[in-house]
């Protein structure tokens, strides 16, 4: 046996080259074992096979100017339509001289949403009122009347239509969803049964069947002298659709509220509606916000389905471009790719927000 | 002190504050308004239909469809009835939904694990895939995959696998098995093998619980279900023959074709839903107590068994309810097939609607069909969920 | 966060103010409705090259669109007073039946069941079409009868699938149908050789062929397997309105026959020094009282022609050889030029 009298610390040796710096990072994160190295190599090959040719087609070999599809070579992407059609892709048939109305509506949307979602903003009291009034203001700006030129809803289109259908659907579905969620937990059997039946029936069918109802059947259900605007009919069905999903999100929030809260509220003499409005719902809705945002993202993507019933959303205008004799056959992929990019950008940002909110919430709870 | 005499008003207000009575009154009100609402709608519909001189009813389902369908799981031709056309379409929906659910589950679990991988690149690629597919409308993704598949080799340049299987942009043409009568014996053996495996598995589990000894159930199952029937087939002189596809003037003739529309829809649906499932799986796995994994490692379970025996069973309990939702979504999303011409129930219903003008009936068939599918899926998954929940209580 | 519990307020406000603005009412006499609204609601396609598509400024243009414009010019005096309602194959008839539009000009085939059973009235034919096939020259086929075992791309939504099934059935040959809803996807499938031939209305095929990179590599097969007379239609039950819609179409056709064009219509319509031809005088309102018979003013037809030109000019502008579609007049030439286009006389 060997003992060594050690009275002082040995100087620390530098970490081996294989564990630090770029090499170390590579070793730990990419090549820690044989299977891992194999995975890395496979992934790298995959990326190299897909990314460079794609960039080459989309940007490097692409054509950016020209009046018709004939200007495009076909080797690269054809983006010559963008400068003429961009307005239609975003505003549909909305008259160009009134585009500012859409822009103002879009800009005002930001504070309207922020004041609902974020606490402790300066001027919160005024801001909340602004949020309540916003839908009315938006409707006034977009539709017109009272001094503004009236623009009928068949002029709405492009990405603006996706936003309108999605946002109106989600805002209108929230109160209905809350009522349905409360109804599902109600002690009154009729209310409970009705809520369950409604929620499950709507969640059980695809949105496009409801959209078919909107354009083909809804008119049949109403007295002949009433005729609803096409957009309004779509919004009605989208709202019904979204409220069933909203109900399930809110139910999740309601179930997370401890029983003690409700018992406490009853102990101080609050009635059912007071308990819900003052104690339960504010907490439950707060927990549900990530779910609500996710429902919105889902709904927002689903607004593209209006193309199947003949409305011209962003995708609809992409199709219109594809059927224009000047561009036919030259922009089949490009128009769709552009739409995909727009949706990705918006939905990705929203889902990031939803994730960060979730993290914030779980931090608050612990 | 005299007893307070109750006034009439107080009596009424007592009635109002009586919670039970109030509940009943409220429910009656709801029932009445619902009844009124539906009467209103039915009355209007009847009046409108009469006014427009349109007939209603499901009698048209017996009329000849007079159009063709390219993917038929049951016999159908253009002289068959509308009703049968709906059946063909319904089966096509079920087919793509079942295939999609299987693939989406596999992709979801794989990617869910990939995102937890210690390999940086693998994790990043998995996240990239999830973010891309989750944030782009499915409609576009279906078109995308269809366009990609159309770039496959053309029919004259088909990729041939051993001259029996052909790949081209008109699909995958496969040999079709043609069964002879004696094949029934083989089928019977397969059934017997499956039943045998079931009891063997039960016996093995009991023995494992009692003695801790394990039994290679997987291998014996393969032997029982595939090996024995396979051997018997050799003895019977292969009572099965293959119809090999042959190249004709335009297309391959004979064999069985998987259409590119089915492949594109299946890919798009499973990749889209797979991304959502991977999130479900990831959060399910993260929900498993770290101590469980450490304990498993401490008793020396190898990584594969650790995942299979410790992590997954516990994660599954968290995973299954949201997984059911994803299955339902996939089934409903298959209705977008119409954009690329996969003839599912919606696509066929549209054609029927165009020919017959029976909008009310066609849309009611859609809804009844999807509601039934959703209900069936929910019931199945609830049954499975209860089974996994029972295991926990033992 | 309390903010979220009170969105009911916004909803109530929305319901009270916005809904009424979007809900209209329909009445009996179509002409009065149109005059009251000062706008013609015209149903068109959701996008079909040459017939109804949008230009770069976002305006609807095309062969069917010009009919809407002519009708609006005749009835309201302004070809711009049209609200275009884009309709799919599914909702075009319900929309017309329910009164959401006053006229449907959406390349719709005139068939007995539509005319009778669906409660609609076709007012004439503005395009004689028929279903045909297009295929690559390299296939070496000269007749659709040789298509045994072929894959056929179909643009769905009309009677196309049925005609095709009938054709193959009567010729006792098999095929694989590939039904696709929109022209752009169907066209892409054909170009990728997903199918051997593509079937649609012959007009659509010719237009599609013209936009291929090498049009000469594709042939249109000689068989036309169906008759597809396309025309505008209105609801049953308002004969005055059907008459107006019918005679605006006839005026456009007669104008070509009589040599009345967008450029000369004003000169010809003058009471003094205008046309000497009595039929032109009657049509353009410088003689007789045909406008009054229809319930319109005297120069209704002159306005329609002034707005969009005669039939020949409309055809040349949107479909003819000078456009990218490059369609020949064919059946749609005047009966005097070897076609079958024939308007009843203005008498």
Interface of C with A in 159-198 (CB under 8 A): 182-184, 187-188, 191
The single residue listed with the structure tokens 């410790």 is B310
Q: Which of C5, C18, C99 sits opposite A143 (nearest CB)?
A: C18
Q: Do A133 and C83 touch (CB under 8 A)?
A: no
Interface contacts (B, C; CB < 8 Å)? 104
Do A144 and A160 belong to one domain?
no
Does residue A232 lie within any of the structural domains? yes
Do A233 and A291 belong to one domain?
yes
* Chain C residues in contact with B52 (beta carbon < 8 A): 97, 119
Do A158 and A274 belong to one domain?
yes
pLDDT, tens only, B34-91: 999 999 999 988 888 887 777 778 888 998 988 899 888 888 988 899 999 999 999 9
Which of B90, B139, B148, B353 to substitute to test the interface with A, most A CBs within 10 Å?
A: B139
The per-residue pLDDT for C55 is 86
Q: What is the CA radius of gyration of chain A?
A: 28
Cα–Cα distance for residue pair B175/B177, rounded to 1 Å: 6
Q: How deeply is A9 buried, as exposed, middle or buried, from its count of CB atoms within 10 A (0-12, 13-18, 19+)? A: exposed
H-run or E-run covering C231? strand C228-235
Return the top range by mean pLDDT from A112-126, A271-285, C14-28, C250-264.
C250-264
* Overall average pLDDT of the C292-297 stretch: 92
Q: Is A307 on the interface with B (CB under 8 A)?
A: yes
Q: Are C212 and A332 in contact (CB under 8 A)?
A: no
Chains in contact with A, where contact requires at least 3 CB pairs less than 8 Å apart: B, C
| Angstrom distances, CA of residue A331 to CA of A50, C57, C318 | 21, 18, 21
Do A108 and A165 belong to one domain?
no
pLDDT, tens only, C100-148: 899 999 988 898 888 887 888 999 999 999 999 999 998 888 888 889 8
Bridging pattern class, strands C40-45 and C103-109? parallel
Q: Is B54 on the interface with C (CB under 8 A)?
A: yes
Q: Is B153 on the interface with C (CB under 8 A)?
A: no
Q: Is A336 on the interface with B (CB under 8 A)?
A: yes
Does residue A30 lie within any of the structural domains? no
Q: What is the CA radius of gyration of chain B?
A: 29
Q: Which of A32, A207, A221 sits opposite B44 (nearest CB)?
A: A221
The residue that leads in pLDDT, C36 or A153, is C36
C-alpha closest to that of A236 among A143, A173, A307? A173
Cα–Cα distance for residue pair C162/C164, rounded to 1 Å: 5
Does residue A287 lie within any of the structural domains? yes
Q: Could you tell me what percent of chain C has a pLDDT over 70? A: 91
Q: Which of B31, B118, B132 sits opposite A190 (nearest CB)?
A: B31
Q: Can you read off the two tokens belonging to residue B214? A: 């394990």
Q: Do C149 and B250 touch (CB under 8 A)?
A: yes
Q: Is A41 on the interface with B (CB under 8 A)?
A: no
The per-residue pLDDT for B111 is 93
Do A121 and A236 belong to one domain?
no
Chains in contact with C, where contact requires at least 3 CB pairs less than 8 Å apart: A, B
- Beta-strand ranges (E) seen in A97-231 are 226-228
* Overall average pLDDT of the B93-113 stretch: 94
Do A186 and A284 belong to one domain?
yes
Do A105 and A249 belong to one domain?
no
pLDDT, tens only, B326-383: 999 999 999 998 888 899 999 999 888 888 878 889 999 999 999 999 988 888 888 8
Q: Which of B45, B139, B336 sits opposite A220 (nearest CB)?
A: B45
Do A140 and A205 belong to one domain?
no
Cα–Cα distance for residue pair A257/A327, rounded to 1 Å: 57
pLDDT band of C9, cuts 50, 70, 90: very low
The single residue listed with the structure tokens 């009698």 is B59
Domain end among A151, A167, A199: A151
Q: Is A269 on the interface with B (CB under 8 A)?
A: no
Q: Can you read off the two tokens belonging to residue A308? A: 């199947």
Does residue A63 lie within any of the structural domains? no
Q: Do C118 and B54 touch (CB under 8 A)?
A: yes
* Chain A residues in contact with C46 (beta carbon < 8 A): 310, 312, 316, 319
Q: Are B281 and B319 in contact (CB under 8 A)?
A: yes
Q: Is A85 on the interface with C (CB under 8 A)?
A: yes
Is pLDDT at C333 greater than 60 in this prediction?
yes
User: Is this model's pTM higher than 0.90 or not?
Assistant: no
Domain count, chain A: 2
3 state SS of C150:
strand
User: In this structure, what CATH number is given to the domain that contains residue A264?
Assistant: 1.10.3720.10
Q: Which of B47, B120, B140 sits opposite A29 (nearest CB)?
A: B120
Q: Is A226 on the interface with C (CB under 8 A)?
A: yes
Is pLDDT at B394 greater than 60 in this prediction?
no
Cα–Cα distance for residue pair C9/C7, rounded to 1 Å: 5
Cα–Cα distance for residue pair A343/A332, rounded to 1 Å: 18
pLDDT, tens only, C42-52: 999 888 888 99
Distant-in-sequence, close-in-space partners of B180: CB < 8 Å, separation ≥ 6: B239, B240, B241
Cα–Cα distance for residue pair C31/C135, rounded to 1 Å: 47
pLDDT, tens only, A151-192: 888 889 999 999 999 999 999 999 999 999 999 988 889 999
Is pLDDT at B393 greater than 50 in this prediction?
no
Q: Which of B52, B70, B347 sits opposite C176 (nearest CB)?
A: B70
Beta partners for residue B246, in sequence order: B253
The residue that leads in pLDDT, B230 or B294, is B294
Residue of B nearest to C155 (CA): B341
Do A136 and A226 belong to one domain?
no
Give the up-direction half-sphere exposure of residue B31: CA atoms within 13 A in the CB hemisphere: 10
Residue-wise over C301-327: b if at least 16 C-beta within 10 A, else e? bbbbbbbbbbbbbbbbbbbbeebbbbb
The per-residue pLDDT for B15 is 65
Q: Can you read off the two tokens belonging to residue B295? A: 């304990």
The single residue listed with the structure tokens 């022209």 is C183
Q: Is C134 on the interface with A (CB under 8 A)?
A: no
For residue A144, what are the domain limits? Answer: 94-151
Distance from CA of B36 to the nearest CA of C (A): 21
* Overall average pLDDT of the C205-230 stretch: 87
Cα–Cα distance for residue pair C254/C346, rounded to 1 Å: 8
The per-residue pLDDT for B2 is 47
Q: Do C165 and B340 touch (CB under 8 A)?
A: no
Residue of B nearest to A30 (CA): B119
Does residue A137 lie within any of the structural domains? yes
Residue of B nearest to A47 (CA): B125
The per-residue pLDDT for A282 is 85
Q: Could you please state the CATH topology (level 3) that the domain comprising C131-226 is classified under.
A: D-Maltodextrin-Binding Protein; domain 2 (3.40.190)
pLDDT tens track, chain A, 366 positions: 555 666 777 777 777 766 667 777 777 777 777 777 888 888 888 889 888 888 988 888 888 888 887 788 778 888 988 888 888 899 998 988 899 999 999 999 988 888 887 777 787 788 888 888 898 899 999 988 888 888 888 889 999 999 999 999 999 999 999 999 999 988 889 999 999 999 999 999 999 999 999 988 888 888 877 778 889 999 999 999 999 999 999 988 888 888 888 888 888 888 888 888 888 888 888 888 888 888 899 999 999 999 888 889 999 999 888 888 788 778 888 899 999 999 999 999 988 888 888 888 777 655
HEC readout, A8-57: CCCCCCCCCCCCCHHHHHHHHHCCCCHHHHHHHHHHHHHHHHHHHHHHHH
Q: Can you read off the two tokens belonging to residue A104? A: 């103002």
Do A315 and A327 belong to one domain?
yes
Is pLDDT at B391 greater than 70 in this prediction?
no
Does residue A299 lie within any of the structural domains? yes
Does residue A55 lie within any of the structural domains? no
* Chain B residues in contact with A301 (beta carbon < 8 A): 135-138
Residue of B nearest to A226 (CA): B44
Long-range contacts of B119-124 (CB under 8 A, 24+ apart): B119/A29, B119/A30, B119/A32, B119/A36, B119/A39, B119/A40, B119/A43, B120/A29, B120/A30, B121/A29, B121/A30, B121/A39, B121/A40, B121/A43, B121/A44, B122/A39, B122/A40, B122/A43
Distant-in-sequence, close-in-space partners of C277: CB < 8 Å, separation ≥ 6: C258
Q: Do B144 and A351 touch (CB under 8 A)?
A: no
Do A168 and A308 belong to one domain?
yes
Q: Is B147 on the interface with C (CB under 8 A)?
A: yes
Cα–Cα distance for residue pair C216/C219, rounded to 1 Å: 7
Cα–Cα distance for residue pair C51/C86, rounded to 1 Å: 12
The per-residue pLDDT for A365 is 58
Q: How deeply is A11 buried, as exposed, middle or buried, from its count of CB atoms within 10 A (0-12, 13-18, 19+)? A: exposed
Q: Can you read off the two tokens belonging to residue C197? A: 């031939």
Distance from CA of B346 to the nearest CA of C (A): 12
Do A172 and A147 belong to one domain?
no
The per-residue pLDDT for A2 is 56
The per-residue pLDDT for B178 is 77
Residue of B nearest to C236 (CA): B52
- CATH 3.40.190.10 domain range(s) in chain C: 30-128+229-337, 131-226
Q: Is B287 on the interface with A (CB under 8 A)?
A: no
Residue of A nearest to B32 (CA): A190
Q: Which domains does chain B have, with CATH numbers?
A: 82-156+258-393 (1.10.3720.10)
Dihedral sign, Cα of residue B168, residue B172, residue B178, residue B182: positive
Least confident of B225-239, C139-153, C164-178, C333-347: B225-239
Residue of C nearest to A95 (CA): C58
Interface contacts (A, C; CB < 8 Å)? 165
Is pLDDT at C336 greater than 60 in this prediction?
yes
Beta partners for residue A123, in sequence order: none
Is pLDDT at C7 greater than 90 in this prediction?
no
Cα–Cα distance for residue pair C131/C157, rounded to 1 Å: 13
The residue that leads in pLDDT, B256 or C338, is C338
Dihedral sign, Cα of residue A289, residue A293, residue A294, residue A298: positive
Which of C16, C39, C44, C58 to substitute to test the interface with A, most A CBs within 10 Å?
A: C58
The per-residue pLDDT for C340 is 94
Q: What is the CA radius of gyration of chain C?
A: 23
Q: Can you read off the two tokens belonging to residue B78? A: 């253009």
Q: Is B347 on the interface with C (CB under 8 A)?
A: yes
Does residue A271 lie within any of the structural domains? yes
3 state SS of C127:
strand
Q: Is B333 on the interface with A (CB under 8 A)?
A: yes
Beta partners for residue C150, in sequence order: C175
The per-residue pLDDT for C39 is 93
CATH number of the domain at C30-128+229-337, please?
3.40.190.10
Distance from CA of C188 to the nearest CA of B (A): 8
C-alpha closest to that of B52 among A226, C114, A230? C114
Is pLDDT at B5 greater than 60 in this prediction?
no
Distance from CA of B361 to the nearest CA of C (A): 14
Q: Can you read off the two tokens belonging to residue C143? A: 């007749």
């Amino acid at each position: 046996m060997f003992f060594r009298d050690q009275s002082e610390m040995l100087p620390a040796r530098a970490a081996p080259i294989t564990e630090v710096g770029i090499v170390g990072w590579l070793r730990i994160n990419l090549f820690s074992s044989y299977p891992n190295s194999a995975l890395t190599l496979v992934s790298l090959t995959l990326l190299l096979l897909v990314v460079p040719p794609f960039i080459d087609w989309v940007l490097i070999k692409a054509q950016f100017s020209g009046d018709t599809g004939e200007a495009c070579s076909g080797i690269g992407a054809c983006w010559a339509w963008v400068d003429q059609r961009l307005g239609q892709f975003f505003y549909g048939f909305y008259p160009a001289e009134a585009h500012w109305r859409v822009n103002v509506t879009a800009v005002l949307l930001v504070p309207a949403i922020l004041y609902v979602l974020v606490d402790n903003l300066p001027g919160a009291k005024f801001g909340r009122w602004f949020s309540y009034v916003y839908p009315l203001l938006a409707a006034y700006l977009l539709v017109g009347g009272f001094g503004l030129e009236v623009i009928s809803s068949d002029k709405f289109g492009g990405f603006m239509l996706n936003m309108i259908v999605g946002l109106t659907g989600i805002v209108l579905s929230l109160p209905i969803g809350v009522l349905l969620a409360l109804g599902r937990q109600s002690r009154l059997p009729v209310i409970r049964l009705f809520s369950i039946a409604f929620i499950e029936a709507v969640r059980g069918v695809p949105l496009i069947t409801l959209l078919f109802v909107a354009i083909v059947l809804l008119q049949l259900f109403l007295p002949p002298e009433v005729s609803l605007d096409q957009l309004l009919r779509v919004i009605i069905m989208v709202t019904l659709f979204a409220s069933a999903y909203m109900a399930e999100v809110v139910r999740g929030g309601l179930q997370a509220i401890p029983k003690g809260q409700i018992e406490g509220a009853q102990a101080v003499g609050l009635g059912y509606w007071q308990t819900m409005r003052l104690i339960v719902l504010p907490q439950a809705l707060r927990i549900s916000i990530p779910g609500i945002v996710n429902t919105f993202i889902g709904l927002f993507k689903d607004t593209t389905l209006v193309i199947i019933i003949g409305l011209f959303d962003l995708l609809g205008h992409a199709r219109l471009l594809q059927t224009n004799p000047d561009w036919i056959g030259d922009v089949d992929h490009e128009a769709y790719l552009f739409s995909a990019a727009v949706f990705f950008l918006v939905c990705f940002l929203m889902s990031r927000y939803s994730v960060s909110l979730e993290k914030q919430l779980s931090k608050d709870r612990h | 002190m005299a007893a307070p005499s109750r006034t009439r008003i107080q009596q009424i207000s007592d009635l109002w504050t009586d919670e039970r009575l109030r509940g009943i009154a409220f429910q009656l009100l709801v029932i009445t308004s619902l009844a009124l609402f539906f009467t209103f709608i039915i009355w209007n519909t009847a009046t409108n239909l009469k006014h427009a001189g349109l007939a209603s009813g499901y009698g048209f389902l017996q009329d000849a469809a007079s159009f063709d369908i390219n993917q038929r799981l049951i016999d159908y031709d253009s002289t068959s009835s509308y009703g049968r056309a709906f059946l063909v379409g319904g089966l096509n929906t079920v087919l793509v939904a079942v295939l999609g659910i299987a693939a989406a589950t596999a992709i979801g679990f794989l990617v869910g694990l990939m995102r937890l991988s210690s390999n940086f690149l693998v994790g990043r690629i998995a996240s990239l895939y999830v973010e891309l597919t989750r944030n782009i409308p499915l409609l576009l993704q279906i078109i995308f995959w269809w366009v990609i598949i159309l770039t496959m080799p053309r029919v004259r340049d088909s990729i041939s696998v051993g001259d029996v299987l052909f790949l081209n942009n008109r699909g995958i043409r496969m040999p079709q098995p043609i069964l002879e009568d004696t094949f029934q014996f083989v089928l019977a053996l397969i059934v017997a093998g499956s039943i045998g495996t079931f009891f063997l598995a039960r016996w093995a589990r009991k023995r494992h619980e009692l003695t801790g000894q394990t039994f290679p159930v997987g291998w014996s199952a393969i032997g029982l279900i595939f090996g024995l029937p396979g051997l018997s087939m050799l003895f019977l002189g292969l009572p099965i023959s293959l119809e090999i596809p042959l190249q004709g003037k335009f297309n391959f003739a004979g064999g069985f074709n998987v259409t590119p529309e089915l492949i594109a829809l299946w890919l798009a649906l499973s990749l889209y839903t797979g991304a959502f499932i991977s999130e479900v799986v990831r959060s399910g796995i993260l929900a498993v107590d770290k101590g469980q994994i450490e304990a498993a490692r401490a008793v020396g379970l190898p990584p594969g068994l650790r995942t299979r025996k410790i992590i997954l069973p516990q994660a599954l309990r968290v995973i299954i309810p949201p997984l059911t939702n994803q299955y339902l979504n996939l089934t409903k999303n298959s209705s977008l097939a119409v954009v690329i011409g996969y003839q599912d129930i919606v696509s066929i219903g549209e054609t029927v609607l165009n020919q017959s003008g029976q909008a009310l009936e066609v849309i009611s068939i859609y809804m009844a069909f999807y509601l039934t599918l959703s209900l069936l899926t929910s019931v199945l998954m609830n049954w499975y969920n209860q089974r996994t929940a029972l295991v926990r209580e033992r | 966060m309390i903010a979220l519990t009170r969105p009911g307020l916004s909803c109530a406000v929305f319901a009270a103010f916005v809904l009424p603005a979007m809900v209209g009412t329909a009445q009996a006499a179509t002409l009065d409705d149109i005059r009251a609204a000062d706008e013609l609601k015209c149903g068109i396609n959701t996008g079909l090259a040459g017939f109804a598509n949008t230009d770069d400024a976002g305006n609807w243009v095309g062969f069917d669109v010009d009919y809407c414009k002519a009708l609006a010019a005749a009835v309201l005096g302004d070809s711009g007073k049209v609200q275009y309602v884009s309709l799919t194959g599914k909702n075009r008839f319900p929309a017309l039946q329910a009164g959401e539009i006053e006229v449907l000009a959406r390349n719709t085939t005139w068939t007995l069941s539509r005319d009778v059973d669906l409660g609609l009235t076709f007012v004439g034919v503005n395009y004689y079409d028929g279903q045909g096939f297009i295929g690559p020259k390299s296939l070496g086929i000269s007749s659709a009868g040789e298509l045994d075992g072929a894959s056929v791309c179909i643009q769905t939504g009309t009677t196309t699938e049925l005609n095709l099934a009938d054709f193959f059935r009567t010729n006792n040959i098999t095929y694989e149908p590939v039904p696709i809803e929109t022209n752009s996807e169907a066209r892409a499938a054909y170009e990728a050789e997903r199918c051997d031939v593509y079937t649609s209305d012959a007009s659509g095929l010719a237009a599609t062929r013209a936009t291929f990179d090498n049009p000469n590599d594709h042939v249109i097969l000689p068989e036309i397997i169906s008759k597809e007379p396309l025309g505008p239609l209105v609801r049953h039950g308002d004969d005055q309105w059907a008459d107006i819609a019918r005679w605006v179409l006839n005026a456009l056709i007669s104008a070509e026959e009589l040599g009345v064009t967008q450029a000369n219509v004003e000169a010809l319509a003058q009471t003094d020094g205008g046309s000497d031809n009595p039929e032109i005088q009657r049509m353009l309102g410088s003689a007789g009282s045909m406008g009054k018979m229809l319930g319109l003013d005297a120069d209704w037809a002159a306005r329609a022609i002034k707005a969009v030109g005669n039939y020949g000019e409309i055809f040349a502008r949107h479909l003819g050889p000078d456009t990218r579609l490059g369609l020949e007049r064919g059946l749609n030439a005047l009966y005097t030029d070897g076609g079958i286009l024939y308007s009843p006389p203005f008498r």
